[in-house]
Structure 1
């Protein structure tokens, strides 16, 4: 790997010889699963990682349909697998994590969050992640990096952290993560209706030990579903109104006389 200034590129045709083997000089190299670039931005790492996460998400999409399929714990397990792939080596790349790599990371998280809540693919990342109870992966990467730094610091002093110390660190850092997540939700870029509804009960929502989201419940919470206003927005209906009511989720559930026993308003 050739290290160079910000305005220079590796000399064309450069190579080194090791044991009689010629090795070309490039702008990036893979080492222990991480792609290192000459400027330590890790943009190349995430550029190569994103398609892998997308393929994993696409494969799991076939296993996690909106109707039927595995239950909520199984869906969370699958999401955890992709999360582990995404956050591999986090203590190394977190200090250099820029906006573009973070955006790629969170875009992949959106796919898994939508699979968890059985939602339409048009749901925003902020809304889907909140409903699924999945903190943004860039914030989780920061927690992993802080845990790693504390372990390294104790090892330098010749100490070994006790299990209760590790548990206390994890609890403290998870608390800080939720504070940062809630602060971020105060200025969402999308999914305003869902966030406005859930944010006042943020802790209760994340800590609840009962209830799961069904395909139809997610439609009601997000407004992305068999509602004419939404279908009109994606050009599937000519007009935004229902035959029977205004056809916003709240109108369908609270007002529409055709909403009976949990069945959505008939068209």
Structure 2
């Protein structure tokens, strides 16, 4: 629906209309990857493997123009020639996407990693992202740094080891609390450095490695989430840490009270 009539309007896109296209696609991509709403358009689409709609519209316009030229010239392509042309168009679209990602100001933590194995990431035959895997791959999740950024913590400190900045990288590589889980993942992936670059390079070529990374994320992030809920439930919790009640949740509770 979003790309209806794309050959007509693809060449007239500007910054305002691109933003209109990106807004709903960002929401869809976030749901595909089961990620937080704060994940940017570039990172969400790259993780989901969905090409930005403005680039897809440009590709559709090019195909339409080529078919029009062939029709005017009364030419028909052989199936092999048509397949080769489609492959070339797909490669050009990916190259444009890569160039666009390199200039994106948001989601650089995730985008930089995926760009090193971009084609392999998009062409992988297995591996479905989970909610907790996406937290680790984006840094948007139960990390002190992120919670401090969205004003859910008074500081970015790590509550598990006391380090001053609890990021996804700190959880993956540095925090001593997760040493047993980290050792299991290192053995499964056969790596000495659990940087996200090394992890992605391993999991896209092996279902076993993907499962090992999945298990690590589930174990570690589940424990971090349980610790966060325990902090929220404390009587002396900081005001920023106290569990909030959303508008819809309050409306639901009120609806249960007899009038």
Normalising by the smaller structure, the TM-score range is: 0.5 to 0.7
Provide structure 1 residue ranges, at least 5 long, that are not aligned to the other structure.
1-84
1:242-253 superposed matches below 5 A = 242-245=158-161, 246=163, 247-253=166-172
Q: 1:136 aligns with which of 15, 31, 52?
A: 52
1:187-198 superposed matches below 5 A = 187-198=103-114
1:95-174 superposed matches below 5 A = 95-174=11-90
1:228–1:241 CA contact under 8 A, matched in 2: yes
Output the TM-score relative to the length of structure 2: 0.67
1:114–1:123 CA contact under 8 A, matched in 2: yes
Provide structure 2 residue ranges, at least 5 long, that are not aligned to the other structure.
182-215, 228-259
1:147–1:169 CA contact under 8 A, matched in 2: no
Q: What RMSD in Å do the two structures reach over aligned CA positions?
A: 1.6
Output the TM-score relative to the length of structure 1: 0.65
Partner of 1:215: 131
Q: 1:254 aligns with which of 156, 166, 173?
A: 173
Which has the larger share of strand?
Answer: 1
Partner of 1:62: none
1:16-165 superposed matches below 5 A = 85-165=1-81
Query: 4+ residue stretches of structure 1 with deviation over 4 A?
Result: none
Deviation, 1:243, is 1.4
Q: Please identify, of 150-159 and 220-229, the stretch whose mean Cα deviation from structure 2 is larger.
A: 150-159
1:151–1:161 CA contact under 8 A, matched in 2: no
Give the Cα–Cα distance (whole angstroms) in 2 for the partners of residues 232 and 194 of structure 1. 19
Which has the larger share of helix?
Answer: 2
Deviation, 1:168, is 2.1
Partner of 1:18: none
Give the Cα–Cα distance (whole angstroms) in 2 for the partners of residues 160 and 90 of structure 1. 24
- Residue-pair matches, total: 183
1:110–1:128 CA contact under 8 A, matched in 2: yes
Q: Does the alignment pair 1:263 with 2:220? A: yes
Partner of 1:45: none
